[in-house]
């Protein structure tokens, strides 16, 4: 950590300049809840840390024209206690409440949670299910949008190029026919990293499911949408038989590993259990 440079821009313009000028060596830090432990363990030794903590307009939760926008540096605690988030996307609010512990939630940001691209990133699942889009600031003051489902490329590997930074997360306000549910299995309630988790959003027309979004965490190298299960549900009446089929497909689609938090076998089993439970809860 001794040779790390540190910059703390005070606005988006300065940030853009720094990121463009040092694009090969800049590592962005917000809450630092991932980066600092990684540096301590000797896993990462960035040459230049760019701290976005001073930038105004980076931390907000807005409802605007049918969309919810959340600034990348908005803390998990702010999301967990936001009325807007609770009203329009309760599954994002509840997953934020289950992330880490109060100390972590007060520091960690939603942008950081996504950029770190851990398979167990708690906020990624509801955001995937909500069809979220990531807005990215690229060198040269350019802005581009990426659908979150295309953002995670592999284990801790994202669509972010050199010198790029997430600025906000945007998702459409779900309509009245759309409901969601989210379940995280951890080893305990407090500060648990998920063993397996699922978020579900369903749009219903009477008994028929018109649109399904299923996202699963900690069961693949990335937080993932499970499209085959979604397709199975869409335009169908959700029956017990269909749920059994969904569970079977779910187990095939995921590729969990065994680690200290759980075996592959257990993860596969409980993922199917919480899928069913989520769908039932979303419909109830």
Partner 1 sequence: MEQNKFHAIGRIARRKDGIAKVTGREVYSSDVTLPHLLFARVLRSPIPHARIKSINTREAEKMGAVCITSEDTPDIKYNERQVSIPEKTYRDRVVLPDKVRHVGEGFAAVAAKTESLAEKAMRSIEVEYEKLPAIFDPYEAMRSGSPQLYDEICLGDTKLPIESNIACHREVGEGDVEHGFKEADLVVEKEFRTGRVYHAQMETKSVVCRPEPDGGISVWPTTQSIHNTRQLLGRIFSISLNKLNVHRVPIGGSFGSSIQMNTCIPICVALALKAQKPVKLVLSREEDMYDHCKYPVIIQLKYGVKKDGTITAGELKTIVDIGGHNIQAYPLLGCMAGWFVSLYRMPHLQFDGTAVYTNKAPGCAMQGYGNPQVSFAVESMIDIIAEELGMDPIALRLKNYVGLGETFWGQGPTVRSVIRSCGVEEMLLKGKDMIEWDQRVSPDKKTGRYRKGVGVARGFHTSGTGAPTPGEVIDYSTAMVKVNEDGSADFSTALMCHGGGTLEAGAKIVAEELGIPIDKVGISPADTRSTGYDVCTHATRGIYCGGASIQRAAKEAKAKLLKFASRLLDVNPEALKIQPREESDQGHIFLPGSLEKHIPVGEVAKMAQYKGWGTAIGVASHRQVNCPPCFVTNFIEVEVDTYTGEIKTTRAVAAVDCGTPINPDLAAGQLEGGLCRGIGLALLESTDYDPETGRLTCGGTFIDYKFYTPVDMPPVDKVKTFFADTYESSGPFGAKGVGEAANNATAAAVVNAIYNAIGIRFAEAPVTPERVLKALQNQPDVEK
When the beta carbons of 24 and 241 are compared against partner 1, the nearer one is 241
Task: Specify the DSSP element, H or E, that contains 170.
Answer: strand 165-172
Q: Does position 248 bind partner 1 by CB under 8 A? A: no
Q: CA nearest 216: which of 152, 158, 169? A: 152
Q: Does position 261 bind partner 1 by CB under 8 A? A: yes
In angstroms, the CA 219 to CA 165 distance is 27
Torsions phi, psi for 12 (to 5 deg):
-65, -35
Site for partner 1 in 92-121 (CB under 8 A): none
Question: Are the C-beta atoms of residues 137 and 165 closer than 8 Å to each other?
Answer: yes
Min dist CB 2 to partner 1, Å, is 6
Min dist CB 241 to partner 1, Å, is 16
Q: Does position 44 bind partner 1 by CB under 8 A? A: no
Min dist CB 186 to partner 1, Å, is 8
DSSP 3-state assignment of 1?
A: coil
Contacts with partner 1: how many residues (CB under 8 A)?
Answer: 21
Min dist CB 263 to partner 1, Å, is 6
DSSP 3-state assignment of 210?
A: strand
32, 263, 281, 283: which one binds partner 1 (CB under 8 A) = 263
CB-count exposure of residue 110 (10 Å: 0-12, 13-18, 19+): buried
61, 146, 273, 283: which one binds partner 1 (CB under 8 A) = 273
62, 147, 187, 208: which one binds partner 1 (CB under 8 A) = 187
CB-count exposure of residue 139 (10 Å: 0-12, 13-18, 19+): middle
Task: Specify the DSSP element, H or E, that contains 229.
Answer: helix 227-233
According to DSSP, residue 156 is labeled T
Q: Does position 190 bind partner 1 by CB under 8 A? A: yes
Min dist CB 164 to partner 1, Å, is 28
When the beta carbons of 48 and 273 are compared against partner 1, the nearer one is 273
Min dist CB 195 to partner 1, Å, is 8
Residue 66: other Cβ atoms inside 10 A? 8
Q: Segment near partner 1 (CB under 8 A), from 14-22, 105-113, 190-198, 218-226?
A: 190-198
Q: Does position 192 bind partner 1 by CB under 8 A? A: yes
At a CB cut-off of 8 Å and minimum separation 6, what does 64 contact?
Answer: none
270, 275, 279, 282: which one binds partner 1 (CB under 8 A) = 270
When the beta carbons of 82 and 268 are compared against partner 1, the nearer one is 268
Residues paired with residue 214 on neighbouring β-strands, in sequence order? 200
Which residues of this protein are in contact with partner 1, per CB under 8 A? Answer: 1-2, 37, 185, 187-193, 260-263, 266, 269-270, 273-274, 277
């Amino acid at each position: 950590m001794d040779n790390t440079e540190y910059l703390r821009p005070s606005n988006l313009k300065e940030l853009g300049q720094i990121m463009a000028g040092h694009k090969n060596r800049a590592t962005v830090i917000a809450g630092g809840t991932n980066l600092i432990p990684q540096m301590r363990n000797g896993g990462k030794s960035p040459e230049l840390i760019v701290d976005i903590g001073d930038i105004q307009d980076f931390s907000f939760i807005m409802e605007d024209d049918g969309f919810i926008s959340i600034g990348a540096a908005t803390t998990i605690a702010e999301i967990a206690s936001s009325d807007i988030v609770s009203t329009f996307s309760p599954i994002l609010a509840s997953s934020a409440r289950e992330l880490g512990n109060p100390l972590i939630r007060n520091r960690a940001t939603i942008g950081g949670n996504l950029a770190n691209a851990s398979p167990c990133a708690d906020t990624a699942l509801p955001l995937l299910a909500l069809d979220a889009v990531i807005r990215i600031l690229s060198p040269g003051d350019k802005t581009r949008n990426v659908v979150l489902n295309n953002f995670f490329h592999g284990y801790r590997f994202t669509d972010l190029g050199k010198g790029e930074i997430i600025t906000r997360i945007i998702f459409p306000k779900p309509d009245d026919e759309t409901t969601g549910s989210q379940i995280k299995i951890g080893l305990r309630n407090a500060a648990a990293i998920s063993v397996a988790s699922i978020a579900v959003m369903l749009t219903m027309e009477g008994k028929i499911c018109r649109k399904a979004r299923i996202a699963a965490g900690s069961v693949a190298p990335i937080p993932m949408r499970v499209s085959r299960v979604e397709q199975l549900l869409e335009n169908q009446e959700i029956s017990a038989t269909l749920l059994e089929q969904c569970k079977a497909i779910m187990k095939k689609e995921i590729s969990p590993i065994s680690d200290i938090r759980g075996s592959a076998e257990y993860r596969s089993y409980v993922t199917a259990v919480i899928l069913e439970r989520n769908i039932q809860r979303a419909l109830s």
